Amino acid sequence: MTDLPADDTCPRCGGGFHCGVNDTTPCACTTIRLDRQTLARLRERYSSCLCLRCLAELARAEAPQPSG
């Protein structure tokens, strides 16, 4: 585990996190799969990255729901 400073703030939940978009290593958000529609919506709504927890929540929310 890397110990990165939480120098960004998630616009969705207000929590601190570190966005890796300016790092040499790939951003952690690349490990979370969101469909393109969801990503486009997030870009319209938020000007910056969301924290991993919110991304994971969104990924889960858009996953196919079991019927019943």
Binding mask 39-58 for Zn ion (x = CB under 5 A): -----------xx--x----
CB of 10: closest distance to Zn ion in angstroms? 3
DSSP 64: P
- Using alpha carbons, select from 38, 48, 44, 37 the residue that is nearest to residue 13: 48
Q: Which stretch binds Zn ion (CB under 5 A): 9-17, 30-38, 40-48, 56-64?
A: 9-17
Answer whether 59's CB lies under 8 Å from 33's CB.
yes
CB of 21: closest distance to Zn ion in angstroms? 15
Specify the 3-state DSSP secondary structure of 42.
Answer: helix
Interface residue list for Zn ion (CB under 5 A): 10, 12-13, 15, 50-51, 54
